[in-house]
Amino acid sequence: MSLFINYTLNGITEGMIFASLALALVLIFRATKIINFAQGAMAMMTTFIAFSLLSHGLGYWWTFVLVLAIGFVFGALVERVLIRPLQGKSELNPVIVTIGLLVVLEGIAGAIYGNASRGFPAAFSQSGLVVGHTKIAFSHFDVFVVVAVLVLMGANLVLFRATSLGLRMRASAFAGEISRLLGVRVGILLTLGWALAGVAGALAGMLVAPTSSFGPYFMDLILIYGFTAAVIGGLESPVGALVGGLITGLCTSYVGGYLGSGLQPLGALVLLMVALMARPEGIFARPPARRV
Amino acid sequence: MLEVQDLSVSYGPVNALRSVTFSAQPGAITAVLGANGAGKTTLLRTISGLAKSRSGSVRFEGEELLGRAVENIARRGIAHVPEGRGIIEELTVEDNLRLATLWCMGRHERQGAIEATFELFPRLSGFRRRHASTLSGGERQMLVIGRALITRPRLLLLDEPSLGLAPLVTAQLMALLRDQTLGTDMTVVLVEQNAQSALSVSQRAVVLNLGEIVVSDSAAAVAGNSDLRHHYLGF
């Protein structure tokens, strides 16, 4: 039983990280209908920037805030420079460009930092908390992971549901031409969507790095998990990204715990297949409306 | 006043508009009539910036509109209700209205304008929190016209507002449009295939055929010209 509890706690923490990357994918997909295959590599880059800043003696929290800001700018730049010129062209172009960006970023990171894995400091202790006399698989750092992702999700929820900026962003994503006719500056809002995705991705990178071997390819597998989470939740739903992330995190944790860690990616892919067969539009996709 | 001068628009080798020249006065409805493919929708899309012109000029209150971004044209008080009812189905009825006010109204003024729109279309009031996708055809049309009027535009471009509506609903919409226009300084350009209905509320009429203006005259004169009606307007 204690194993099950520990796997569950571990799944919740991992699920939160997947949710963060899933949110990044969702923010971009709902704004521009593009799957950003480079999202993981962008997060890897910002994490390497964090690594450099920390190595040069900058404090963790300053680095944390600065890297989120860099993620924001990075996301905006990618949209403006690489994605915007593809508007109105073949739907295949963004796929090729984002995969190309993934390869380029991993190549750049490898050239600058080398391909060897290394350690990355955590904000808090990673030693399991003690409940009663038992040490559980849930540390102060895991608490931080859960809280950080929940704050990010909450901020997005407030932005989209309770602010006029969020209303403009939703309108731009759903009906760009109509929104422009209503005076909405759609172009800026699409850039903002990519920028916010950059923040979510940068956060995911900072949260994953202390728990895994940190190197140029460390986000590749997380991207697959994040993508699985986004699809399960329903590619356009931030809440779906959270729920999908938790489902994926729990699934991979149970598979890793009971069947072996080597089977975790397979577990995620089986989960993705089951989700696509059972509810291809995702759990939180809005059912098609009935005209009356 | 809206002044369209020698406006030409092409889609590849197809000339959608050829040297179109007409003007529309404030406080009046100018009907743009013609068969399918006459260029009516292209004309409105060019005025609002959605379509690019090949040559010519579109001036509103002395300002050139061609070459400006769609959202900047909208922010000059020009509301375009596109063909197909242009609601944002994923948003609620109230959010559809609110969205139109964001660029020009403060929070308090905005809420007042939304309530005024619900008074104009009481039927929508009960649906304010419902997704716009659940509305019927007539309700959708009320919503897009309400959304266009909520900012008190100086130029209103309406593309086929009667499309798919029952005759009674069409008559109500046309009457409302007339009431909202006459005695104000709003300029209205009304594109319609239902020529009879459009002429009944319009002061001026422009008849397009294959991208060219066939006639530009008072609505009464066009309605009274049986040859013109028979050849181009089908009644």
| Averages of pLDDT over each 10 residues, chain A, 292 residues | 90 95 93 92 97 95 97 97 91 94 96 91 91 89 96 93 93 93 95 95 95 92 95 91 95 95 92 91 71 48
**Residue B97 clears pLDDT 90, i.e. is over it:** yes
**What sign for the dihedral angle of Cα B58, B61, B63, B67?**
negative
Residues B46/B53, Cβ–Cβ less than 8 Å: yes
Answer yes or no: do A291 and B133 touch at CB < 8 A.
Answer: yes
Q: Which of A168, A182, A292 sits opposite B134 (nearest CB)?
A: A292
**Rounded (5°) CA angle A17-A19-A20:** 65
Residue of A87, A179, A181 for testing the chain B interface, max B β-carbons within 10 Å: A181
Q: What is the pLDDT of residues B212-221, one digit of tens each?
A: 999 999 999 9
What residues of A are in contact with residue B100 (Cβ under 8 Å)?
182-183
Here the tokens at position A278 are 């059972």
Q: Does B133 touch chain A (CB under 8 A)?
A: yes
Contact yes or no for B70 and A164 at CB 8 A: no
Question: CA-CA distance, B213 to B17, in Å (whole number)?
Answer: 9
Contact B90 A170 (CB under 8 A): yes
> Helix or strand or coil: residue B182?
coil
Is residue A30 less than 8 Å (CB to CB) from chain B? no
Mean pLDDT over each residue of chain B, to the nearest integer = 92
CA distance B225 to A184: 43
Q: Do A181 and B50 touch (CB under 8 A)?
A: yes
Q: In the numeric block, which tokens belong to residue A110?
A: 């490898």
Mean predicted confidence (pLDDT) in B89-108: 93
What pLDDT score does B232 carry? 72
Tell me how crowded residue A6 is: count the other CB atoms within 10 A of its CB: 18
Q: Determine the Cα–Cα distance for residues A254 and A8; give it in Å rounded to an integer.
A: 7
What pLDDT sits at residue B137? 87
* Count of beta carbons in the 10 Å neighbourhood of residue A153: 20
Has residue B234 got a pLDDT over 80? no
10 Å CB burial of residue A55 (0-12, 13-18, 19+) is exposed
Beta bridge partners of A135: A130
A178 and B131 within 8 Å at the Cβ level: the answer is no
Chain A within 8 Å of B196 (Cβ-Cβ)? no
pLDDT bracket for residue B172 (50, 70, 90): confident
How far is residue A92 from each of residues A33, A35, A95, A97, A148, measured CA to CA in Å? Answer: 12, 11, 5, 9, 35
Task: Render the burial of B52-74: b for 16+ CB within 10 Å, e for the rest.
Answer: ebeebebebeeeebbebebbebb
Between chain A and chain B, how many beta carbons pairs sit less than 8 Å apart?
A: 76
Per CATH, domain B2-89+155-233 is 3.30.70.260: no
Mean pLDDT for B180-186 is 90
Least confident of A8-12, B45-49, B68-72, B192-196: B192-196
Parallel, antiparallel, or unpaired: how do β-strands B155-159 and B14-24 relate? unpaired
Angle at B214 between CA B208 and CA B219, to 5 degrees: 80
Residue A186 sits at the chain B interface (C-beta within 8 Å):
yes
Give A163's contacts in chain B (Cβ within 8 Å): none
CA-based nearest distance B67→chain A, Å: 15
Helices (H), chain A: 2-32, 39-55, 60-78, 92-113, 140-162, 164-174, 176-181, 186-208, 220-233, 238-254, 264-278
Give the residue from chain B lying closest to A236, CA to CA. B90
Cβ of A170 under 8 Å from any chain B Cβ?
yes
Supply B118's token pair. 């619900």
Query: Whole-angstrom Cα distance, residue A106 to residue A274?
Result: 31
In chain B, where are the structural domains located?
2-89+155-233
What pLDDT, on a 0 to 100 scale, did the predictor assign at position B53? 95
Set of chain B residues whose Cβ sits within 8 Å of the Cβ of A291: 133-134, 136
- Partner residues linked to B30 by β-bridges: B189, B204
A43 touches A214 (CB < 8 A): no
Nearest Cα of chain A lies from the Cα of B89 at a distance, in angstroms, of 8
- Nearest Cβ partner of A289 from B50, B100, B133? B133
Residue A63 at interface with chain B, using a CB cutoff of 8 Å: no
Q: For chain A, say whether B52 makes contact (Cβ under 8 Å).
A: no
Would you call B70 and A182 a contact, using CB atoms and an 8 Å cutoff?
A: no
> DSSP label at B126?
T
Helix (H, G, I), strand (E, B) or coil at A207: helix
Output b/e per residue, A113-127; b: 16+ Cβ within 10 A.
eeeeeeebebbeeee
Q: Using an 8 Å Cβ cutoff, are B93 and B143 in contact?
A: yes
Residues of A in contact with B69 (CB under 8 A): 180
Q: Which of A173, A220, A236, A197 is nearest to A75 (CA)?
A: A197
Give tens-digit pLDDT for B39-49: 999 999 999 99
Interface of B with A in 54-93 (CB under 8 A): 69-71, 74-75, 79-80, 82, 86-91
User: Contact A152/A203 with Cβ under 8 angstroms?
Assistant: yes
Angle between helix axes A220-233 and A186-208 (nearest 10 degrees) is: 120
Average pLDDT on B78-96 reads: 91
CA distance linking residue B104 with residue B125, whole number of Å: 23
SS3 B235: coil
